[in-house]
Amino acid sequence: MNQESPQAHTFSPRPPGATAAVVLADGTVMWGRGVGAPGAAVGEVVFNTSMTGYQETLTDPSYAGQIITFTFPHIGNVGANGEDVECISPAARGLILRADITEPSNWRSTRHLDAWLTSSGIPGISGVDTRALTRRIRESGAPNGTIVHAPNGEFDLPALRAMAANWPGLIDMDLAKEVTCRQTYTWEESLWTRGQGYGHQTRPDFHVVAVDYGAKRNILRCLAAAGCRVTVVPADTSAEDMLAHKPDGVFLSNGPGDPAATGVYAVPMIQGVLASNVPLFGICLGHQMLALALGGKTCKMDTGHRGANHPVKDLATGRVEITSQNHGFAVIAESLPQGVQVTHKSLFDGSVEGLAVDGKPVFSVQYHPEASPGPQDSHHLFARFVALMQERA
């Protein structure tokens, strides 16, 4: 099929006052008002349905390579602070908003969201019909796009479209290596409480080694609050180096990109841990790579799951939990070998949301039990992980 060249496309003219745009790979242009940092970024355009926790969402390393469309219109209304960040350097490429950012109204706010976006180097746009864009993503899949904030009003639309069209997309892209830690470190900070801030774990019962594929801070806090001393290691750590820490348990974190690409180096490590019979708990990308290590396969989803309102059914108990999710790949149920059980399913589309291995202290979930942002229905999974370590002690 002959593809139309970017130069041959007729673009909509810039409306008066427009200082930002989103240009999709097919030439669609959405105009608006710029927020955050001036500049341009290219990535996969996705949507998130959460009504709260936009700062946690923007700093989730799992959003590396993605431009986030927020379906909730009031983004920025509670401002920003230094406590609700999930990583030091945000990995999201940009954000798309319906309404302008308003003045913050929250007792925990320390700065305006626009100022925080600017200091974090994140470009954004407001004034976009996010309902229409969300419907487009839902019906046709997540497109590649370029977001640009140009205060001077100058836009090279053919070049912006070419950036989007030439971006390779997330399939076969290993982004964990871009967001992982560069060296091993110890984590002791535990969960936040009003009036006291974050606590510290000083008397741990177990030692957990957490593999950082893009780990969120609140996951590490949940492990610490559950009684664990946490050692965080880079994504490419070998099984030998992992087990040299003598862990009571191993945790596989969330992260961005294609699990098959990251699995090139992660799968051999996971298989080594499985052979050692050390209790293992994986979430999100860690869940997907556990499936790969067990002989399963993953696939790219059309739209993915992103939000804090996703119902998941525990097949053993029949209990339904409302979960926080952020993933664009999924485990293929039919690819799983004998001895690997699907334990949880999405009530939205029936996709695999949890795994367990017969006869081994190993389990995983596709969603985010640390609830940052999101409901706390799944906090009990950290206690389940601790129980496996207690049984083995």
Catalytic residue numbers, as ranges: 284, 368, 370
Provide the residue type at 374 as one letter: G
80 phi, psi to nearest 5 deg: -140, 160
What sign has the CA pseudo-torsion 261, 96, 162, 42? negative
Question: At 3, which amino acid appears?
Answer: Q
